[in-house]
Structure 1
Amino acid sequence: MAARKRVVGAVRGRAETIADRWVQLQVQQAAPGTGVRESELREEADALVAALVDGLGSALPVDRIVNAHAGLNRAVTELSLRRARGGESPTATSLAVLALKEALLEAVQESTQDNGDLFSAALLINRLLDAAGALSFDTYVEGREEIIRRQSRQLLGLSTPVVRLWRQVLGVPLIGTLDTARTQVVMENLLQAVQDQEATVAIIDITGVPTVDTAVAHHLMQTVNAVRLMGADCIISGIRPPIAQTVAQLGIDLSTIMTRATLADALSEAIRLTAGSVVRSDAPASR
């Protein structure tokens, strides 16, 4: 308890100096051309040191301050997430938090020269900042994983575009492997486009899909059935001879699905299917 009071007194009376020293230490350890701007470091330092003072002044046990004190937990978490979004490494982020140890120990050393007091204060600061470093690392990793997941979803969306080929006709050109995750994105994007564009025909072109196995065929049939539930016809184009042979050998039944060898053939069929509705929509209103 005495060590905690000593640390609290040292930090509270030298908060601005500690923040300045922490910023200086981070600038010194940052690799050339990398790191956060000094102005941002100062904002982080002010917020974290203030939260640290509040946390130490609370009744929480030292081992629980970082995780249980809302202000300190938020300051460490926001720092880590900001570094994750900025592309800093998790090691550099944790070291930045741990650099606060040196700034705190220097402040305590200015308030007492007793070796026993300094040792007790150092143990307390180590326990506190080790917990902060662990929280920083965990938060950083979770933040980066979320960024990666979001980028993966964005890439999936970009790799499965839905384009308007003709009036009431949509096309989905697929390139590469078609797995469960990508099929789900295709289905969601296509169904939304069918609704938004009031499409009556959707063409899924698999010319760029290298192989079609049982799983791929199952995914395609699921997508076709979903499009049909929206009231639109669905055509699979790009059935090349090797794919046709593979489908036949695997015994996959695509008889319920409209297929065409090329995208041009599929578009011609789509125009034929929509001819009646186009004529009706273009006809002048009767008087």
Structure 2
Amino acid sequence: MSTTEAAARERVRAVLRAEADDIADRWVQLQLAQAPLGEAVSETELREESDALIGALIAGLDGDGPVERMVGSHPGLRQAVCDLSLRRARAGASPTDTSLAVLALKEALLEAAQRQTENAAALFGDAVLINRLLDSAGALSFETYVEGREEIIRRQSRQLLEVSTPVVRLWRQVLAVPLIGTLDTARTQVVMENLLQGIQDHEALVAIIDITGVPTVDTAVAQHLMQTVNAVRLMGADCVISGIRPPIAQTIAQLGIDLSTILTRATLADALATAVKLTDAASAGPTPAAHR
């Protein structure tokens, strides 16, 4: 670290300590002036963030690491920036607004440095250091925001998949999963997990997979269905696939897909009737597997 940078670092740290409250107040004002951000985060939350980040900046400057890497390497400072960004992501603020919010601290801190420093050369050095430090914070906030939004989207997608693949109890020891839309690998995994858990919870003997709402069945979809059927059988239950309409039956035949080992029915009503017979037979003695 050069002597000039060390001196600028000490001056900026002194400014932060001397005017922490004023800098925080000014930063909150600048953020509230950004209408979208003001709607996403309350003034109280902004003040808490300001106090936390300014305190973390002081702690980071107390160390001796390079300014360029301080935001990423100092645990407290990195955490303060990440917390701020994730809170904005959850509140629905845009990544640009989030980065601008962090960069607004630059203006508040430069104003304080100008009040504390009369020497033009020293003020220039302070401004360079402040820019390097808060540009790094802005970049980290943008990166954290994107990662946070991606995680939220993944979690919401998972929730939507679970909602779109409900496991319904139709009869004593009979469950059904009505499928609507495209059946891909991710959705098949959710179907399988929910169905297997439902079989365990309800001690089901028969599971019906209704594909009436599935527009097309190709080799990949058939393979997904076979995997689910095999998993159900490993749980000791029988599986019936219903909703095979004439066009889908023709497609399956043309593709040469072998579903001969799986019980299939044209409608959900037919599948339920078959499932009731299987459960009645099972209660009389043999297991469902003996009636395939």
Q: Do they fold alike, i.e. is TM over 0.5?
A: yes
- Residue of structure 2 in register with 1:203 after alignment: 208
8 Å CA contact retained: 2:176, 2:208: yes
- C-alpha contact 2:28 2:43 (8 A) present in aligned 1: yes
Alignment of 1:224 with 2:229, yes or no, is: yes
Q: Partner residue of 1:36?
A: 41
Asked if 1 retains the 8 angstrom alpha-carbon contact of 2:102 and 2:134, the reply is: yes
Say which of 190, 193, 201 aligns to 2:198: 193
- Secondary structure (helix, strand or coil) at the match of 1:178 reads coil
| CA displacement at 1:111 relative to structure 2 | 1.0
TM-score (norm 1): 0.95
1:117 aligns with 2:118: no
The share of aligned pairs that are identical, in percent, is: 74
Question: 2:32–2:38: 8 Å Cα contact kept in structure 1?
Answer: no
CA deviation map 1:183-238 (0-9, x unaligned):
11101110111111100000000011111111111110110011001000000001
Cα distance in 2 between the residues matched to 1:159 and 1:33: 35
Paired residue secondary structure (1:99): helix
Is 1:10 aligned with 2:28?
no
**Counterpart secondary structure, 2:179:** strand
- In the alignment, does 2:53 pair up with 1:51? no
Q: Which residue of 2 aligns with 1:283?
A: none
Residue 93 to residue 33, structure 1, CA distance change in 2 (3 Å): closer
Task: Give the counterpart of 2:268 among 231, 256, 263.
Answer: 263
Q: Whole-Å Cα distance in 1 between the matches of residues 48 and 37 of structure 2?
A: 21
The answer to whether structure 1 residue 68 and structure 2 residue 73 are counterparts is yes
Residues of 2 paired with 1:32 and 1:276: CA distance? Answer: 64
Report the counterpart of residue 288 of structure 2 in structure 1: none
Count of equivalent residues: 280
CA contact (8 A) 2:31 2:37 kept: no
Q: Are 2:242 and 1:237 equivalent residues in the alignment?
A: yes
Amino acid at match of 2:148: G
Q: Report the Cα offset of residue 277 of structure 1.
A: 4.3
Q: Once the two structures are superposed, what CA deviation does each residue of 1:1-24 show, in whole Å capped at 9, x if it has no partner? A: 111111111111111111011001
Whole-Å separation in 2 of the counterparts to 1:197 and 1:58: 59
SS in structure 2 of the partner of residue 108 of structure 1: helix
Q: Quote the Cα distance in structure 1 between the aligned partners of 2:238 and 2:161.
A: 24
Q: Tell me the distance in 2 between the aligned counterparts of 1:227 and 1:3.
A: 68
Residue 279 of structure 1 and its aligned partner are, at CA, apart by 6.4
In 2: Cα distance, 1:203 partner to 1:171 partner: 4
Q: State the partner residue of 2:3.
A: none
CA RMSD of aligned residues (A): 1.2
1:84 aligns with 2:95: no
User: Equivalences for 1:163-178 in 2 at 5 Å?
Assistant: 163-178=168-183
CA contact (8 A) 2:36 2:97 kept: no
Aligned to 1:107: 112
Alignment match, 2:139: 134
- Give the distance between the partners of 1:263 and 1:33, measured in 2 at CA: 52
For 2:120 and 2:37, the matched residues in 1 are separated by: 37
**TM-score normalised per structure 2:** 0.94
Measure, in 1, the Cα distance between the counterparts of 2:284 and 2:260: 30
